[in-house]
A and B are shown apart, each in its own frame.
Chain A
Amino acid sequence: MEIFDNLLMGLSIAITPVNLLYLLLGAMIGMMIGAIPGFGPSAGIAILLPVTFSMDPISAVMMLAAIYYGAMYGGTITAILLNTPGDSTTVASTFDGFPLAKQGRAGPALVMQACASFTGGTVGVILITLLAPMFALVTRSFGPPEFFLLCLMGILTLVALMSGNWMLGLVSALIGFALGTVGVDLETGHQRFTFGSTELIGGIHFIPVAIGLFGIGELFHAFYSGAHKSGSGGIVEYQNEERFWPTRKDFRESKFTMPRNAILGFCIGLIPGAGATIASLMAYSLEKSLSKTPKKFGHGEMRGLTAPESANNAASSGAMVPLLTLGIPGSASTAVLLAAFIMWGLRPGPLLMAENPEFAWGLISSMYLGNMALLVISIFAIPLFVYIIKAPYRILAPLVLVVCVMGTFSVNASMIEVFIMLGAGVIGFLMKRFGFSPAAVVLALVLGPMAEESLRQTLIISRGSFDIFFLRPSSVYIMVFFVAVIFSGILLNAYRKKANIQGDPA
């Protein structure tokens, strides 16, 4: 009953007119960003993070979270109409989404993907509601050794699950850790890698690096790949005709598909680094293997669209659990969300739900409302998003860059940070070009200082002995879990390679 009381309390916070307005705004912006090919939720949150500075913390985080899961909805529109996934998480949605559109069923496909996303998102939030308090209770006994191991686990899982060359992922993570060491060493007060700059004493801020790597880097890469040269070529015309709505058969066929893949997606999302991409691909395979007509998959089967959609939205909810209860982001998007939490003076972790219940439950409750709003928006505002898809990249690019620059400057009124962001943009572009992982850099930049601090505390407690990691039951459990995750990660990676899909966990 305590859960329902908390949920009601959260709803009373989330349902205020101002918060609802920001929630709707975030959902709309998230969908728009998701609809732009190449821009994932991490880029969207990073770019818009500075815009939320003057807001109330709860409103701001509700809006950023809405951008996060709104982008998951939006990414599918391009997958269906353009055969171009908005992000790696919607790759599986192109398999049957585009064939459906080519058959003249773009309308039903778009509505069904909205319903599947809603189911996935809502099942995910219900599971967060039930599981997050339990997770928080378990993790309250965690000390510095456990937190060090969790930080290590978060980043190494991401590296292990990275598509392509995992060594490049490791280098990316090490770069992120190295960036995290810039600034004053908290134990000794010694300056590290500041080169006498007063602006670097506080360290390299996360926001310009994230905006640069995700927002600007994506932009440069789009120009490299020639996206700016094409207009809206290849779009399957969406027609607001009488056959817009799905048939009863569509709903009947997908009635079990959506909930079962939502649960699968949520479980995959819980694993740090696993992400929505793997969840959606696994859901597609699961659905195909359960189907009596597997040959229809890939040729416009509605279940082939609803399964990955349900799973990737549930996975994005699942990734919120380690963030809220451990303070450990499992993906690049949740790493940016963590930065937002820290910026507002909130410390996600085992005590968040006890110390800031109005924030934690307000956020969770807002996700219920956000999913409902997104269902309505994504059905009735489809023409608007189609119009956005048609906007040429060459006009969008300078606008996005100006917003990124002004947003970065507005954080600390620092031109150094603007140049750090632009530099990170160039590095992010080259990293993407050569198979490195910008997501690992960002995650390591966030987790690096936490890992160093917790290792330091651990060694003080143990008087310099590393045996402490093997003497504490919680640490041993985490290590066992870690080994299991890495092992399952290798299997998942092999599975992804078999499916021939690229992309970092978003």
Chain B
Amino acid sequence: MRLFFYLFILVVAVCYTYMAFVDLSFLTNRGRMGPGFFPRILGVSMIAAMLLVILSDIKNRTLFSGAQDSQYQDAAVLIGLSLTFGVLLMVLGYVIAIPAYIAATLYYFNRGKHKTNAAVTVAVPVVIHFLFGTLLNAALPQGMWW
């Protein structure tokens, strides 16, 4: 997992640097700092630092640590549910997305506690609506179809 994360950062850094060199000029026509001045320095530094980190981990033999880690399962489920919640929120709005997300999360992580889960599933959307919608008069995601 560590290796994948390092590679992900490295790839993003390479893409960032590529765009900084191709799309953005280092200096303006007047010879001042251009839009690419900072990004180019940052991009190159990021690639260099990331390569050093990877080399150092290879040297210390820690690059592949945690690859067989089964602890990720619950975190991965929560991340998956949370991202699905984001999509549901965009499409269906908060009225449906919040209870659906809370019910699904509690169903998975708090098994067997049906009364507690039901109470939380009903209470949270009401509190959120009251807190954000009524008390703070803030915008709430209504979804695409409403």
Contacts and interface: CB of A to CB of B under 8 A. Distances in A.
B60 to A, nearest CB: 10
A456 B32 contact: yes
Interface stretch (A169-177, A299-307, A350-358): A169-177
Interface residues of B, number: 60
Contacts of B102: 398-399, 402
A290 interface: no
A406 B94 contact: yes
B78 A223 contact: yes
Interface in B122-144: 124, 128, 131-132, 136-141
Nearest to A464: B31
B22 to A, nearest CB: 12
A342 interface: no
Interface stretch (A48-56, A73-81, A376-384): A48-56
B92 interface: no
Given A174-B49, A178-B46, A403 B136 contact: no
A455 B137 CA distance: 40
Interface in A421-476: 422, 425-426, 429-430, 433-434, 448, 452, 455-456, 459-460, 464
A165 B56 CA distance: 10
B138 A53 contact: yes
Contacts of A397: 78, 105, 109
Given A165-B53, A394-B106, A415-B89, A193 B19 contact: yes
Nearest to A174: B46
Given A188-B35, A459-B32, A174 B86 contact: no
B53 A418 contact: no
A96 B77 CA distance: 38
A192 B42 contact: no
B89 A418 contact: yes
A142 interface: no
A294 interface: no
A202 interface: no
B75 A224 contact: yes
A481 B101 CA distance: 51
Contact of B53 (A168, A185, A216): A168
Classify the secondary structure of B's interface with A.
helix
B68 interface: no
Contact of A192 (B9, B35, B74): B35
Contacts of A456: 32-33
Given A193-B16, A223-B75, A425 B49 contact: no
Given A187-B33, A216-B82, A175 B75 contact: no
A175 B140 contact: no
A285 interface: no
B15 to A, nearest CB: 10
Contacts of A221: 75
Contacts of B141: 406, 409, 413, 415, 418
Nearest to A170: B49
Nearest to A394: B109
A418 B139 CA distance: 13
Contacts of A430: 1, 5
Nearest to B17: A178
B2 interface: yes
Contacts of B82: 216, 401, 422, 425
Given A403-B128, A405-B86, A398 B106 contact: yes
B28 A224 contact: no
A228 B109 contact: yes
Contacts of B71: 224-226
Contacts of B75: 220-221, 223-224, 429
Contacts of B13: 178
Interface string B50-74: 1011001000000000100001101
Shortest 7 CB-CB contacts between residues of A and residues of B: A410-B138, A185-B35, A413-B139, A224-B75, A394-B109, A398-B105, A190-B35
Given A399-B120, A410-B132, A464-B31, 11 more contacts: A53-B138, A167-B49, A167-B56, A174-B45, A220-B78, A225-B71, A394-B106, A397-B109, A402-B102, A410-B138, A415-B89
Interface of B: 1-2, 5-6, 9, 13, 16, 19, 23-24, 28, 31-35, 38-39, 42-43, 45-46, 49-50, 52-53, 56, 66, 71-72, 74-75, 78-79, 82-83, 85-86, 89-90, 94, 98, 101-102, 105-106, 109-110, 116, 120, 124, 128, 131-132, 136-141
22 contacts: A177-B42, A178-B39, A181-B38, A188-B34, A190-B24, A220-B75, A220-B78, A228-B74, A394-B106, A397-B105, A397-B109, A402-B101, A405-B85, A409-B141, A410-B136, A415-B86, A418-B86, A433-B1, A433-B66, A434-B5, A456-B32, A456-B33
